[in-house]
Amino acid sequence: MSDQVHLVDCTLREGDQTAGVAMTVDEKLQIAEMLDAAGIPLADAGMPAVNPSEARFLREAARRCSSMTVGASVRCRPDMARLALDCGVGAVFVICPVSEHHLSARLDMTLDHLLESLQAVAEVIRGHATIEVVAEDATRASESALLALADTARSAGADRLYLADTVGMKSPRQWGDLVSKMLAAAGDGVELGVHCHNDYGMATALTVAAIEAGVRWPTATVNGLGERAGNADLGAVAAATKNLLGLECSVNLERMSALSERVERASETLLNEAHPLVGANAFRHESGIHVHGVLKDPSLYEAIDPSQVGRDRTLLIGKHSGGAHLRAVLAAAEISLCDDDIERLRAQIQRACGERSRTDFDALRLRVDAYRKASQGIPEKKVIEWARELESNS
């Protein structure tokens, strides 16, 4: 088993599909170049069938990225595959809804029809780009359907097969069993990848577990951006791969902070303060016990050095601050207080924190809610108005 993990980024496709998100072509190109510079080997960067600007972006991204392979996602149809290849991409992600639920309720298609279509699509792609088969809704598919898809992917010359936990439905044990079975089924014929959603808050954990089990092509997004509750977080998966599993990964973690900020702005999606590695609180300490430890040895209360991910450490003075922190701050200012005065100072800090008004937060909350309502998505009323104009002019 190889120690090299190839992290596949889906920010520019899955992240851009997040409800209310509408990244511009220029913003996506900037992010693509940053991903390229950060050492991402492969990106599922968009669906050319969405609109002409998406196809234009893919062409330009494929031209600009020097080391990252830019890929496109398509439905399992030969004409869609040709559309992707016309964009000059180096990989085509073929979406194959493999659960009976999707095949019957959404597509009115049989599994045999899907497998025949995959053979035809692979014939179009082969020799022009890598064939990346995505088993959509794999975690609700029957084992026989997944094995049939794996066999077809192998016989069609696919490079990789991705198990997509499309609605985040598997528990850790169930997921581990599925990944192990599919690794055995894939054998040496086709490499295995995973694509996890965060509906139960486990996307990153399940992705890391899959890597630990032997998967070498995990997918993730910057800031965990994605449909509904999002996807596995790119920075967290990369850091865990290197630091917890001791495996090789080409991602430059120092670039994660800048990438996070760029994606946050382009997606207009505020980052949670507690977000791993890049959130405001990731390396911010206040508690007296913790700060006391950090002042002696930061590794006592930090799993990773903040400089590894382009961040700085912050020691915050607040309600829970202890004497050790205050003494350090006062020493730097060349102020010396006795123990009793230190306690009086702590009490003054605690009173100030307790008297703090929530007015500013309430005002900010209202502004954020108003912004989200006004800026994300097009109101139905406006769409109906445009439709009536079109109807009257036709």
Q: Which domains does the chain have, with CATH numbers?
A: 4-267 (3.20.20.70), 284-354 (no CATH), 361-393 (no CATH)
Q: Give me the mean pLDDT over the 177-200 stretch.
A: 94
Q: Which residue has the tokens 């609700």?
A: 140
Q: Give me the mean pLDDT over the 34-41 stretch.
A: 98
Q: Which among 216, 132, 146 has a CA at the least distance from the CA of 177?
A: 146
List, in sequence order, the alpha helices (H) in the chain.
25-37, 52-64, 78-85, 100, 111-125, 143-155, 172-186, 203-213, 234-243, 256-267, 288-296, 323-332, 339-354, 359-375, 380-393
pLDDT tens per residue across span 180-191: 999 998 888 899
The yes-or-no verdict on residue 118 having pLDDT over 80 is yes
Q: Give me the mean pLDDT over the 233-247 stretch.
A: 97
Q: What is the pLDDT of residue 188?
A: 82
Identify the three-state secondary structure at position 191: strand
Distance CA 126, CA 286 (A): 56
Confidence label for 137 from pLDDT (cuts 50, 70 and 90):
very high
The yes-or-no verdict on residue 1 having pLDDT over 70 is no
Q: Give me the mean pLDDT over the 351-357 stretch.
A: 93
Q: What is the pLDDT of residue 36?
A: 98
Q: Which residue has the tokens 């996070």?
A: 260
Enumerate the β-bridge partners of residue 161: 133, 192
Q: Give me the mean pLDDT over the 354-375 stretch.
A: 90
The yes-or-no verdict on residue 376 having pLDDT over 80 is no
List, in sequence order, the alpha helices (H) in 127-171.
143-155
Q: Is the pTM of this model over 0.75?
A: yes
Average pLDDT score, the chain: 96
Q: Give me the mean pLDDT over the 245-264 stretch.
A: 97
Q: What is the pLDDT of residue 265?
A: 96
